[in-house]
Chain A
Amino acid sequence: GENVEQHPSTLSVQEGDSAVIKCTYSDSASNYFPWYKQELGKRPQLIIDIRSNVGEKKDQRIAVTLNKTAKHFSLHITETQPEDSAVYFCAASITGNQFYFGTGTSLTVIP
């Protein structure tokens, strides 16, 4: 099955700086890559996703890039704010099949 690795496991940034979280996947057939944000005590919520026919997608301060050749994708958060502090999970899936999650990144934005 698919194997998704996520780095770093913890990340601290100053408010206003950028944060980058990276994931790699093993199955070249994977074609859908969502990112989830989980605040303390809450459920994971989808924040952005990208499909394999697109190299980059942006939504305000959040962007995701995908390199199919290298089999890695990254989450970029610009102008970080304290409310961005949370655990972020990446995932990979082949459409219609099981989702495989990374181990999570705990992001702390220091005011």
Chain B
Amino acid sequence: EAGVTQSPTHLIKTRGQQATLRCSPISGHTSVYWYQQALGLGLQFLLWYDEGEERNRGNFPPRFSGRQFPNYSSELNVNALELEDSALYLCASSLGTGRLSGNTIYFGEGSWLTVV
């Protein structure tokens, strides 16, 4: 069974540009989470989608946005890139809301975003 897949693996952008990161959850998973991990730091919660809806967002500015598609894959968009947006962006998936058991969260390999 395929795990959580993310693309691209690495992305280099210039300040002010936009970046789009993509995530495919494990088959059968309906929840997708996005986390930002700056070098050497913890997992900062960005967004949570389930069944196509945004369930919660972390303490990030509106230029961080995303969506979840009908096939449960997800996209994270970062507009007006700033140097401090350089980080590893991790996507994770789980079985989602309404499930009573087995609700473990699994991470993808991440997308390294470098803003120069």
Contact = CB atoms under 8 A, between A and B. Distances in A.
| A-side interface size class | 20 to 34
Given A96-B96, A104-B43, A46 B104 contact: yes
Interface stretch (B13-21, B68-76, B79-87, B105-113): B105-113
Contacts of A104: 41-43
Contacts of A44: 43, 90, 107
B97 interface: yes
B76 to A, nearest CB: 16
Contact of A96 (B90, B97, B109): B97
Contact of B106 (A46, A89, A93, A98): A46
Contacts of B104: 34, 46, 49
A97 B97 contact: yes
State the main secondary structure of chain A at its contact with B. Answer: strand
A43 B103 contact: no
Interface in B14-57: 33, 35, 41-43, 45, 48, 55-56
Contacts of B100: 95-96
| B-side interface size class | 20 to 34
B62 interface: no
Nearest to A32: B103
A52 interface: no
A96 B103 contact: yes
Interface string A33-51: 0101000001111100100
A34 B103 CA distance: 10
A19 interface: no
The 8 closest A-B pairs by CB, nearest first: A43-B107, A103-B42, A96-B97, A104-B42, A101-B43, A44-B107, A95-B103, A43-B109
13 contacts: A36-B107, A44-B107, A46-B106, A49-B104, A93-B105, A95-B99, A96-B100, A99-B105, A100-B45, A101-B43, A101-B45, A104-B41, A104-B42
Interface of A: 32, 34, 36, 42-46, 49, 89, 91, 93, 95-104
